[in-house]
Amino acid sequence: MSRMGVGIETKKSPPPPYSRLSPRDEYKPLDLSDSTLSYTETEATNSLITAPGEFSDASMSPDATKPSHWCSVAYWEHRTRVGRLYAVYDQAVSIFYDLPQGSGFCLGQLNLEQRSESVRRTRSKIGFGILLSKEPDGVWAYNRGEHPIFVNSPTLDAPGGRALVVRKVPPGYSIKVFDFERSGLQHAPEPDAADGPYDPNSVRISFAKGWGPCYSRQFITSCPCWLEILLNNPR
């Protein structure tokens, strides 16, 4: 096993779709065909607005005979949700703006009458987006784009900590955005009322723009383009 900097390691013959990391190693480099992305946060969402969207997918059909979905994905632009919830049934799903011959959740197909310049610029940076994969040890996100993604989730925060932790994931790297074992052992304190609702099974991911104490944007709703991953009965 060879190390490539602090917190990063690869194996000579990693099993698909990625090599295992020790608990202290959060990121791992990938081939161009594999990348990760993901994030979560406990920020007020009471005032979020849902906008109408025309996106449709066979996975959301009431007549679908597929097994129960393991997560749903919502796409947001600032405080506005664009399109419907995208239910995920397969082990892995691509979430992208433009992926030649790709299948999955295409954000480029989601229309909105009025978009700000910052949203248009950020959407142009999504590109190949991310690959979200459910594995035996948790949920992994692979950054397949050319720009970083920013992630926060309950299992990325320090145990018992109250400070928001947002992780930057460079292009070509992956991160375990939700750890099944840690989620079962973790007992998060009740958040302050100002923090808004807290969902221990939700992960949020921002494309290209960070937020939190280290950034000018304090809340995820200040980010132009972001995802909310709603896990359905983790494990």
Mind listing the pLDDT tens digit for each residue in 14-71? 334 443 333 344 555 544 333 333 322 323 333 344 444 443 444 445 554 557 899 9
Mind listing the pLDDT tens digit for each residue in 92-150? 999 999 887 778 999 999 999 899 999 999 999 999 999 999 999 999 999 999 999 99
Strand-pairing partners, residue 3, are: 9
β-pairing verdict for 173-179 and 202-207:
unpaired
- d(CA 219, CA 71) in angstroms, rounded, equals 23
Among 3.40.50.1370, 3.40.640.10, 3.40.50.1820, 2.60.200.10, what is the CATH number of 71-186+197-231? 2.60.200.10
For CA atoms 86, 42, 148, 120, the dihedral sign is positive
Give domain limits for the chain: 71-186+197-231
**Residue-averaged pLDDT of the chain:** 74
CB atoms within 10 A of CB 154: 21
Left, alpha or beta for 83 (phi > 0: left; psi -120 to 50: alpha)?
Answer: left
In this predicted structure, the answer to whether residue 219 has a pLDDT above a threshold of 70 is yes
- Which has more pLDDT, 119 or 200? 119
In this predicted structure, the answer to whether residue 220 has a pLDDT above a threshold of 80 is yes
Q: DSSP state, 8?
A: B
CA distances in angstroms from 212 to 38, 118, 171, 221, 232, listed in the order given: 15, 18, 21, 11, 26
Mind listing the pLDDT tens digit for each residue in 155-196? 887 766 667 889 999 999 999 999 988 887 554 444 443 344
Q: DSSP state, 180?
A: H
pTM, two decimal places: 0.72
